[in-house]
Amino acid sequence: MLYRLPIAFHITGMAILKIARMGHPVLNRVAAPVADPTSPDIHRLIVDMLETMEDANGTGLAAPQVHVPARIVAFFVSGARAKREDGATREDGAEEDAEPDDVPLSVLINPEVEPLNDEMALGWEACLSVPGLVGQVPRYTAVRYRGWTPKGEEIVREAKGFHARVVQHECDHLDGVLYPQRMTDLSTLIFTSEMGAQADIETAHTETARAESEDP
Ligand code: NI
């Protein structure tokens, strides 16, 4: 079944939307594909999602998080953030010298993600729908993803590290999966306020928690 927005969306203005929290059924269901990525209703929803994401200081947001069960995600990954996160999670402690380019603010409709190899890595994630907590989540380190823009253009990209992590986190929302369900060691599911106890990654945590990842 394709997702079509209810009529009521025609009469709502640009708005900061309420974010669903873990336990709300909309976060546990498989979201429906969007019938027409270019429709005015979808455009309006996306504008609201971006405003909501900015207001919440999120790195990303998925439509189910604003109670709309449609396959739409948005995210932004600055090069500085990616370098910081990937440097913090590398097991050998070494940091990449070069700062990757920013991943521009991206909206993907009906996205698909595929891993480029079997390699996975642990990294810290937070989620606007799981406020106050952070956890270490295994994710594929390199993926290819594709989806449609609100203009109806196809995007195909390859991503690694934190960029790949953000995309996997957001697209999981479309399949009803929250990051704690991906965790393999729940002892690393901790309150953001306790992150200072792990000083070596404190900086990365603070940033991760302030942003959604999410979004991680
Ligand atoms: Ni999330």
CB 83 within 8 A of CB 100: yes
**φ/ψ of residue 143, rounded to 5:** -140, 160
Chain position carrying tokens 């669903």 = 20
Q: Which of 85, 170, 207, 212 is catalytic?
A: 170
CA of 57 to the centre of ligand 1 (A): 12
Q: Ligand 1 centre and the CA of 171: distance in Å?
A: 9
Ligand 1 center–CA 69 separation, angstroms: 14
Spatial distance between the Cα atoms of 52 and 15, rounded to a whole number of angstroms: 7
Give the pair of three-digit tokens for residue 156.
Answer: 């195909």
Distance between CA atoms of residues 1 and 180, nearest Å: 28
Q: How far apart, in whole angstroms, are the C-alpha atoms of residue 87 and residue 144?
A: 21
Q: What is the C-alpha to C-alpha distance for residues 77 and 92, in angstroms, rounded to an integer? A: 23
The pLDDT of residue 144 is: 98
The alpha carbon of 180 and the centre of ligand 1 are apart by a number of angstroms equal to 10
User: Which pLDDT score is estimated for 198?
Assistant: 61
Three-state DSSP state, 65:
helix
Predicted local confidence at residue 37, as pLDDT? 96
Q: How many CA atoms lie within 13 A of 165 on its CB side?
A: 31
- Distance, CA of 203 to chain centre: 20
| C-alpha 148 to ligand 1 mean position (Å) | 20
Of 144, 195, 190, 138, nearest to 167 by C-alpha is 144
pLDDT score recorded for residue 206: 38
Q: Tens digit of pLDDT for each residue in 131-166?
A: 999 999 999 999 999 999 999 999 999 999 999 999
Task: Please report the beta strands in the chain, taking only residues with DSSP state E, as ranges in sequence order.
Answer: 60-62, 72-77, 103-115, 120-125, 133-140, 142-148, 154-160, 190-191
How many helical (H) and strand (E) elements, i.e. helices and strands, does the chain have?
4, 8
96 noted as active-site residue: no
Judged on CB neighbours under 10 Å (0-12, 13-18, 19+), 187 is exposed
Measured at the alpha carbon of residue 83, what is the angle toward residues 78 and 88, in degrees to the nearest 5? 130
- Hey, what domains does the chain have and what are their CATH numbers? 25-214 (3.90.45.10)
Instruction: Show the low-confidence residues of the chain (pLDDT under 70).
Output: 1-2, 4-13, 88-97, 197-216
Q: How far is the CA of 116 from the centre of ligand 1 (A)?
A: 22
